[in-house]
């Protein structure tokens, strides 16, 4: 006769009792639950899903699944959520031939912004209304100085994509973008922002005025040549030359500045700046200077295919005062002096010392022909003496 023997272990596990019948284990009912910690958090923070299991044979195989691709194995699992909303998880436990699927008791409230003022979300795909603003770090700058535009965003799910646009080809893809302007004028910018299916556009609150004066660190050795664009790609440059004609002149006489450019694709856009408020938008610009001194100019050019370049013109113009010019002409043309006078020509043009003076010119002692007056006085005195000599008996 074969006897059946039952063997019970001395100490039973808190989760199971092992009973053997002919060497085969006898299992108790499998019980399981799970929960999240913390129950409320923010986008980008870590959440722990934790299991609690009893019964079975005392050893367990646990797998996880849930929102935003939650998956994994083990008694606990960590998850970082990228979107705001309510997040759920499910656990499947296997032990001794038993299997149990359990939905975790508490979902996680993931908020899209770091503020406790926002309400509890009711949908795993919900995000706050998206809004944005932007601003420049300065309202005035010099040519060649970088300006930084920055965006401020609220709402969405906490993750944002930026796209910048603006004057002179401004671009960027970050929360802030820096740009160096090569032409003077008023500059504006705006940014498009995307988050969890929402789009917001912000026109920046302040414009930037770029002066026609160059930053001294931008103009090295009094000239600028082959300036690269903001990406630093030397292929995006133009080769520029410019000069003035004439190189020496008098006040209120015309001076023509001319630019020559190679590279890029026509048409070209020109922007002139320089001494005495020089400005212009053509390849040549004519200026009448009202003050004496050395005059300079700078031209910035952009092509139709986006290439840019800036150059300070190679020669300066020396502008002299009118009286200085007249004095020079007197010394060189004393033998060519002539005077045309008439009682009916006081308002007409007079020619004196080789220099044309308008009848409307303000009277000056410098304009009187003292030499001729002295000769005339001598002649009058001589004639008087001769008259007295020949008529002394009558007198």
User: 368 or 38: whose pLDDT is higher?
Assistant: 38
pLDDT of 316 strictly over 50: yes
Ramachandran sector of residue 39 (left: φ over 0; alpha: ψ -120 to 50; beta: rest): alpha
Instruction: Specify the pLDDT at position 311.
Output: 84
Residue at which a domain ends, from 213, 233, 253:
213
Residues 198 and 230 in one domain: no
Residues 274 and 187 in one domain: no
Residues 84 and 32 in one domain: yes
Residues 232 and 313 in one domain: yes
With beta carbons less than 8 A apart as the criterion, state whether 25 and 59 touch. no
CATH number at residue 265: 2.60.40.10
User: 293 or 324: whose pLDDT is higher?
Assistant: 293
Instruction: Specify the pLDDT at position 15.
Output: 36
Mean pLDDT of 280-285: 92
pLDDT of 382 strictly over 50: yes
116 is a domain residue = no
Taking each continuous run of H as one helix and of E as one strand, the counts in the chain are: 2, 35
Residues 95 and 148 in one domain: no
Q: pTM of whole model > 0.85?
A: no
Instruction: Specify the pLDDT at position 44.
Output: 81
Number of domains in the chain: 4
Residues 275 and 310 in one domain: yes
Residues 102 and 141 in one domain: no
φ and ψ at residue 52, rounded to 5 degrees: -140, 115
Residues 316 and 225 in one domain: yes
Mean pLDDT of 343-360: 38
Q: CA-CA distance, 64 to 116, in Å (whole number)?
A: 29
Nearest to 127 by CA among 105, 88, 153, 156: 156
Token pair listed for 361: 């010119």
Residue at which a domain ends, from 320, 355, 375:
320
Strand pairing of 46-56 and 146-156? unpaired
261 is a domain residue = yes
328 is a domain residue = no
332 is a domain residue = no
φ and ψ at residue 112, rounded to 5 degrees: -85, -5
Q: How many Cα neighbours within 13 Å face the side chain of 303?
A: 19
Q: How many Cα neighbours within 13 Å face the side chain of 188?
A: 5
Residues 87 and 172 in one domain: no
Residues 243 and 197 in one domain: no
Instruction: Specify the pLDDT at position 151.
Output: 92
Residues 186 and 224 in one domain: no
Residues 229 and 205 in one domain: no
Instruction: Specify the pLDDT at position 9.
Output: 45
Q: CA-CA distance, 103 to 107, in Å (whole number)?
A: 9
The edge-to-edge listing of strands for the beta sheet with 278-280 is 278-280, 268-274, 297-303, 308-312
Instruction: Specify the pLDDT at position 66.
Output: 94
**Range in 65-74, 78-87, 162-171, 350-359 with the lowest mean pLDDT:** 350-359
Instruction: Specify the pLDDT at position 329.
Output: 42
Instruction: Specify the pLDDT at position 368.
Output: 73
Show the domain range for 299. Answer: 220-320
Residue at which a domain ends, from 169, 190, 213:
213
356 is a domain residue = yes
Name residue, tokens 């370049």: 309
148 is a domain residue = yes
pLDDT of 333 strictly over 80: no
The H or E element that residue 324 is part of is: helix 322-332
175 is a domain residue = yes
For the beta carbon of residue 282, count every other beta carbon within 10 angstroms.
10
13 is a domain residue = yes
Q: CA-CA distance, 106 to 101, in Å (whole number)?
A: 15
């Amino acid at each position: 006769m074969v006897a059946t023997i039952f063997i019970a272990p001395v100490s039973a596990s808190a989760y199971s009792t092992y009973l053997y019948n002919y060497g085969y284990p006898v299992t108790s009912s499998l019980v399981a639950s799970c929960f999240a910690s913390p129950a409320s958090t923010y986008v980008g923070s870590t959440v722990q899903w934790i299991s609690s299991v009893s019964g079975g044979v005392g050893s367990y195989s646990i797998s996880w699944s849930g929102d935003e691709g939650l998956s994994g194995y083990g008694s606990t699992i960590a998850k970082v959520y990228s979107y705001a909303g309510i997040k759920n998880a499910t656990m499947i436990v296997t032990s001794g031939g038993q299997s149990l699927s359990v939905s975790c008791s508490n979902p996680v409230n993931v908020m899209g912004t770091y503020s406790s003022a926002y309400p509890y979300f009711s949908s795993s795909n919900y995000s706050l209304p998206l809004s944005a603003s932007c601003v420049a770090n300065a309202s005035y700058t010099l040519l060649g100085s970088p300006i930084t535009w920055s965006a401020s965003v609220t709402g969405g799910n906490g993750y944002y994509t930026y796209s910048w646009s603006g004057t002179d080809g401004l671009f960027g893809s970050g929360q802030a973008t820096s740009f160096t302007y090569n032409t003077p004028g008023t500059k504006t910018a705006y940014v498009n922002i995307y988050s969890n299916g929402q789009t917001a556009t912000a026109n920046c609150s302040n414009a930037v005025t770029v002066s026609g004066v160059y930053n001294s660190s931008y103009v090295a050795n009094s000239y600028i040549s082959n300036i690269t664009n903001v990406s630093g790609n030397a292929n995006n440059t133009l080769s520029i030359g410019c000069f003035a004609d004439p190189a020496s002149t008098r006040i209120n006489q015309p001076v023509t500045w001319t630019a020559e450019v190679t590279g890029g694709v026509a048409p070209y856009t020109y922007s002139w700046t320089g001494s005495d408020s020089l400005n212009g938008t053509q390849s040549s610009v004519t200026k009448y200077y009202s003050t004496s001194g050395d005059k300079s100019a700078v031209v910035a050019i952009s092509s139709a295919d986006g290439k840019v370049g800036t150059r300070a013109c190679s020669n300066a113009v020396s502008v002299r005062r009118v009286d200085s010019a007249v004095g020079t002409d007197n010394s060189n043309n004393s033998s060519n002096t002539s005077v045309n006078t008439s009682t009916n020509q006081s308002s007409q043009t007079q020619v004196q010392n080789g220099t044309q003076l308008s009848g409307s010119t303000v009277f000056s002692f410098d304009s009187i022909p003292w030499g001729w007056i002295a000769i005339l006085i001598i002649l009058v005195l001589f004639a008087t003496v001769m008259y007295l000599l020949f008529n002394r008996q009558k007198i």
